[in-house]
Amino acid sequence: MKQFNYTIKDEVGIHARPAGMLAKTAKGFQSEILIEKDGRSVNATKLMMLMGMGIKCGDTVTVTVTGADEEAATSAMQAFFAANL
Amino acid sequence: MLKFTGKGVYGAIAVGRASVFFQKKKAKIRRTGIADVEAEFARVEAAKEKATQQLSEIYEKALREVGETNAQIFEIHMMMLEDEDYNESIRNIIETQLVNAEYAISLTANNFSSMFAAMDDAYMQARAADVKDISDRLITCMTADCEKTIHSDQPSIICNDDLTPSETVLLDKEKILAFVTAYGSSNSHTAILARTMNIPAVIGVGEEFLSNIKDGDMIAVDGFTGEVFIDPDQQTLEQMECKQKEAREKKELLKRLKGKENITLDGQKINIYANISGVEDLGAVLANDAGGIGLFRSEFLYLEGTDFPTEQQQFEAYKKVLVSMAGKKVIIRTLDIGADKKVDYFDLGEEENPALGLRAIRICLTRPEIFKTQLRALFRASVFGRLGIMFPMITSVSELEKILEICSEVKCELQEGGIEFSNDIEIGIMIETPAAALISEKLAPMVDFFSVGTNDLIQYTLACDRQNPRLESFCDTHHEAVLRLISLSAENAHKAGAWIGICGELAADTSLTEAFLKMGIDELSVSPSFVLKLRNTVRNIDLRS
């Protein structure tokens, strides 16, 4: 299991477009990727639920990656968050 | 008996059964029990596939036209369709409640969209609409086939909220006694069609009508007064019959004017031509003794099919009209698609403001291959009669130069191919934008004739959307600005040796006939059923007085 925290810098937070891209990226890995905020967590492949979290600018999320390709998945997620959110 | 009042757009009477269509369009999703869960799953999958296909086409197109950032929403829609929770919810509802897929989808849509709607972020609240949108698309993909066309087996009175031009085109015209619509203005497509078909139409009767009318109700429509009666009583029926008889007699009187000249008491002549929307209107043109065809709306060739009409199909239609008119002038307007006339296969996309959008000649100049096909068909047909070609929505000299250049190219190609065409094709343009009227002095020397499209000219001059019935009080069709633009165009046409006609709805307005004669308008082109009425008006005008 690998984990990292990230504070959202994008003005509108995880809105439809980045949520869509995030879900797409997450689907590319076998590992389970969970996004957690304030005790609620959701699988990163679940677009609607992810959008439903209402993650905004300034919120800190915890990303937890568990699975066979967790190394690669984690670096991909870190890169994704840094580039898009 | 219930009475509703709207605006009558063609003076005639009809009594018959109602055919109500709006309910079908906005049908509520019904909950029905099912036995075969797997079959229902399969329906969802099939609809999903179709919806994804549609979305990917929309996405590709949006990508080309509005860029990736704006196109992405359609990609998100596709992803939403694949969303695990969304799909699981649909399957769960089908499986546990043993209900139809449509119901399961609409329930799922409600649940998810209320989740978004309840969020404290305006942006996320707006996503509720996306969920609804994809769900509606899914449901439509399951049921679309039975929805597309409006059918009625017996002659009936079409009652609707409003008809889109493509719906209007798909109607079986033999089976329509009258139109009644809740919305729409007298310039709407339905209204124009009713005038062409000589059947009564009452538009803008209001929403309340929709909640009171049922399929099969007996209704009486008075196109003179704009009154519509549901379940008319005996007295009303008698009145209707009486009015109908009067109208028929008046029509008979007008028939006596057949074969007479269009000449004022003091000897000024004017040509009265007919507007047609298709080959099937030719009978009415000849029966009403029109001197020619002042406007053949060629876009009907495009609206009827599911793909572009071929050169040969167009050629056959144009040839038929030219042959039937036996040497009388036939003016064919090149395609005027766009604005309120939409055709799916043109892939025009949504526009914020379609009346000011990519329409008519703008499509032709953007996609010259479509334009050239039509021009080739027109030129080839020209040997069968007296052809005039006119181009809609002109706003500048450079557009016209471009058009004439394309015409020359097409002629060269035909010549090289050894294909015959006439040397006396008249070329004209529509004056339907204030811009064209104001620079008519420069445009006139480049053409043989002008034809004023008053509907658009009024809309663009007065900034009044012709589809919006609430603007009718602001939309003074006799506005001095409009009349001055027409007068200016007439003056400039004549200075350059060109002739000028009017083919819009205003041409049939007999309260303006005298004014038009004074401006020196050479031709008025109206619905076939107005030709003789207009002749009667002209023959009673004395310009000396």
**Vertex B195, ends B192 and B196: CA angle to 5°?**
90
Q: Dihedral of CA B476/B480/B485/B489: which sign? A: positive
Which superfamily does B2-21+150-252 belong to? Phosphohistidine domain (3.50.30.10)
At B201 the pLDDT is: 87
Find, among B331, B329, B387, B396, the residue nearest to B361 by Cα: B396
Which superfamily does B264-539 belong to? Phosphoenolpyruvate-binding domains (3.20.20.60)
As a dihedral over the C-alpha atoms of residue B10, residue B11, residue B14, residue B18, rounded to 10 degrees, the angle is 30
Give the CATH fold of the B37-146 domain.
Enzyme I; Chain A, domain 2 (1.10.274)
Residue B342 structure tokens:
């939409």
B340 SS3 class: coil
Count: domains in chain A: 1
- With an 8 Å Cβ cutoff, are A20 and B86 in contact? no
Using CB atoms within 10 Å of the CB of residue B463, give its burial: 0 to 12 exposed, 13 to 18 middle, 19+ buried: exposed
Catalytic residue among B77, B141, B159, B189: B189
Residue whose token pair is 């950032």? B69
B69: which chain A residues are within 8 Å (Cβ-Cβ)? 17
Using CB atoms within 10 Å of the CB of residue A81, give its burial: 0 to 12 exposed, 13 to 18 middle, 19+ buried: buried
Indicate if the pLDDT at residue A14 is higher than 90: no
Domain of A58 in residue numbering reads as 2-84
B130: which chain A residues are within 8 Å (Cβ-Cβ)? 16
Length of chain B: 545
A62 SS3 class: strand
Closest residue in chain A to residue B116, using alpha carbons only: A52
**Chain A interface includes B117 (CB < 8 A):** no
Tens of pLDDT, residue by residue over B399-420, are 999 999 999 999 999 999 999 9
Closest in A17, A48, A54 to B83, CB measured: A48
Closest in A13, A15, A46 to B83, CB measured: A46
Quickly list H helices, B98-179.
101-117, 122-143, 165-170
Most A CBs within 10 Å, among B74, B78, B81, B85, to test the A interface: B85
Distance CA B329, CA B294 (A): 8
At B170 the pLDDT is: 52
At B130 the pLDDT is: 78
Catalytic residue among B159, B407, B464, B503: B503
Indicate if the pLDDT at residue A51 is higher than 80: yes
- With an 8 Å Cβ cutoff, are A47 and B76 in contact? yes
Residue whose token pair is 């969920």? B131
A38: which chain B residues are within 8 Å (Cβ-Cβ)? none
What pairing do the DSSP bridges indicate for beta strands B449-452 and B426-431?
parallel
At B398 the pLDDT is: 97
- Tell me if residue B503 is catalytic: yes
Distance from CA of A58 to the nearest CA of B (A): 14
**Chain A interface includes B344 (CB < 8 A):** no
Cβ-based neighbour number of residue A41 at 10 Å: 16
What's the CATH code of the domain at A32? 3.30.1340.10
At B147 the pLDDT is: 42
Task: For chain B, give every domain's residue range.
Answer: 2-21+150-252, 37-146, 264-539
Exposure class string for B126-160: b at 16+ Cβ within 10 A, else e: ebbebbbbbbebbbebbeeeeeeebebeeebbbbb
Q: Dihedral of CA B210/B212/B214/B219: which sign? A: negative
- With an 8 Å Cβ cutoff, are A54 and B84 in contact? no
At B190 the pLDDT is: 63
A51: which chain B residues are within 8 Å (Cβ-Cβ)? 116, 124, 127
Radius of gyration of chain A (CA): 11
- With an 8 Å Cβ cutoff, are B112 and A48 in contact? yes
At B165 the pLDDT is: 46
Closest in B69, B86, B123 to A48, CB measured: B86
Please report which helix (H) or strand (E) contains residue B525, including its range: strand B523-526
At B280 the pLDDT is: 82
Using CB atoms within 10 Å of the CB of residue B102, give its burial: 0 to 12 exposed, 13 to 18 middle, 19+ buried: buried
Distance of CA B270 to the CA centre of its chain: 28
Please report which helix (H) or strand (E) contains residue B524, including its range: strand B523-526
ipTM: 0.86
Residues of chain B by 3-state class (helix, strand, coil), percent to 5:
55, 15, 30
The domains spanning B2-21+150-252 and B264-539 adopt the same CATH topology: no
0.90 surpassed by pTM: no
Residue B145 structure tokens:
């086939």
Q: Are B155 and B173 in contact (CB under 8 A)?
A: no
- With an 8 Å Cβ cutoff, are A13 and B121 in contact? yes
- With an 8 Å Cβ cutoff, are B130 and A16 in contact? yes
- With an 8 Å Cβ cutoff, are A54 and B119 in contact? yes
Q: What residues of chain B score a pLDDT lower than 50?
A: 23-24, 146-149, 165-166, 169
B127: which chain A residues are within 8 Å (Cβ-Cβ)? 16, 51
Length of chain A: 85
Closest residue in chain B to residue A47, using alpha carbons only: B83
- With an 8 Å Cβ cutoff, are B124 and A54 in contact? yes
Phi–psi pair at B507, nearest 5 degrees: -60, -30
Distance CA B145, CA B143 (A): 6
Distance CA B404, CA B399 (A): 9
